[in-house]
């Protein structure tokens, strides 16, 4: 049977990227998705904004909702200092299988931990299961329908602390209007929009950065 889009992306990484070199994994994926087959990675333009937020924050504990092929896990993981950890949740087992290979090819298997399952099921169990107290940085990139429910769940589970930064992808395309309204209206957050473009296209999209005020 035919290969899947994630499997074809993984083959490009294995054929063209240098093992243990996250920068080459990122550039191979971006070149492949721009020139051969589009895929829903955060991409190079929004990825540059993601890099600057992570680099400025220098987080020790990071949560990513939505791994897909592992592109943003590699983008974030490569910037983390020794001892820092990224936990990435992926619901789709086929995506998770590819992402594990991409993360391993980048040499980030000791920095990035992929957990398979639904964010709504795992968020309430992160403290007891992984010994996590609170997160310094959270990247929301799973499904626009889940953004608002998951941020409220993170609040309830007390996994946010004063200064925790949340960065949400696709707040314009496909769009997460209920999430935007919540973080922009709530006194619990200081929120701002980084205008950019949908990965590998000229369409508008952007990232919403929200600081939890506690």
Ligand X SMILES: O=c1[nH]cnc2c(O)c(F)c(-c3ccc(F)cc3)cc12
Catalytically active residues, by annotation: 141, 144, 169-170, 199
Tokens of 1: 């049977």
Q: Please choose which of ligand X, Mg ion, none residue 199 contacts, taking the beta carbon within 5 to 8 angstroms, the exact cut-off set by kind.
A: ligand X
Residue 198 as a binder of ligand X (CB under 6 A): the answer is yes
Surface-to-core class of residue 138, CB atoms within 10 Å of its CB (0-12 exposed, 13-18 middle, 19+ buried): buried
Q: Which does 117 bind (CB under 5 to 8 A by kind): Mg ion, ligand X, none?
A: none
Tell me phi and psi for residue 173, to 5 degrees: -135, 110
- Strand-strand pairing, 204-212 and 165-168: antiparallel
Distances (CA, A) of 90 to 19, 35, 66: 23, 26, 5
Reply yes or no: is the peptide bond before residue 49 cis, omega within 30 of 0: no
Find the binder of ligand X among 111, 164, 170, 196 (CB under 6 A). 170
Shortest reach from residue 43's CB to ligand X, in Å: 8
Considering only residues 143, 153, 193, 194, which one is a binding residue for ligand X as defined by CB under 6 A? 143
Q: What is the DSSP letter of 131?
A: -
Does 141 participate in binding ligand X (rule CB under 6 A)? Answer: yes
Which of 93-101, 153-161, 168-176, 181-189 is the region at the interface with ligand X (rule: CB under 6 A)? Answer: 168-176
Instruction: Name, in order, each residue with C-beta under 8 angstroms of 80's C-beta and a sequence gap of 6 or more.
Output: 54, 59, 62, 86, 111
Measured distance CA(27)–CA(48) in Å, rounded: 12
Stretch that binds Mg ion, among 21-29, 93-101, 135-143, 148-156 (CB under 5 A): 135-143
Contact flag: residue 66 with ligand X (CB under 6 A) = yes
Candidate segments 73-81, 126-134, 136-144, 185-193, binder of ligand X by CB under 6 A: 136-144
- Interface residues with ligand X (CB under 6 A) are 40, 66, 141-143, 169-170, 173-174, 198-199
Binding site for Mg ion (CB under 5 A): 141, 169-170
């Amino acid at each position: 049977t035919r290969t899947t889009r994630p499997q074809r992306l993984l083959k490009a990484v294995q054929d063209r990227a240098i093992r243990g070199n996250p920068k080459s994994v990122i550039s191979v994926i971006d070149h492949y998705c721009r020139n051969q087959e589009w895929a829903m990675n955060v991409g190079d333009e929004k990825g540059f904004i993601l890099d600057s937020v992570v680099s400025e924050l220098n987080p020790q504990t990071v949560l990513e909702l939505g791994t897909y092929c592992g592109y943003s896990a590699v983008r974030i993981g490569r910037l983390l200092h020794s001892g820092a950890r990224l936990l990435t949740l992926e619901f789709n087992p086929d995506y998770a299988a590819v992402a594990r290979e991409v993360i391993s090819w980048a040499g980030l298997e000791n920095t990035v931990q992929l957990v398979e399952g639904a964010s709504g099921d795992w968020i309430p169990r992160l403290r007891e299961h992984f010994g996590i107290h609170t997160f310094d940085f959270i990247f929301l990139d799973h499904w626009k329908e889940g953004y608002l429910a998951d941020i409220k769940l993170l609040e309830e589970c007390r996994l946010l602390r004063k200064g925790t930064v949340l960065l949400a992808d696709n707040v314009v395309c496909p769009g997460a209007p209920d999430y935007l309204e919540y973080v922009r209206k709530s006194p619990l957050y200081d929120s701002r929009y980084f205008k950019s473009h949908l990965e590998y296209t000229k369409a508008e999209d952007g990232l919403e950065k929200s600081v939890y005020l506690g």
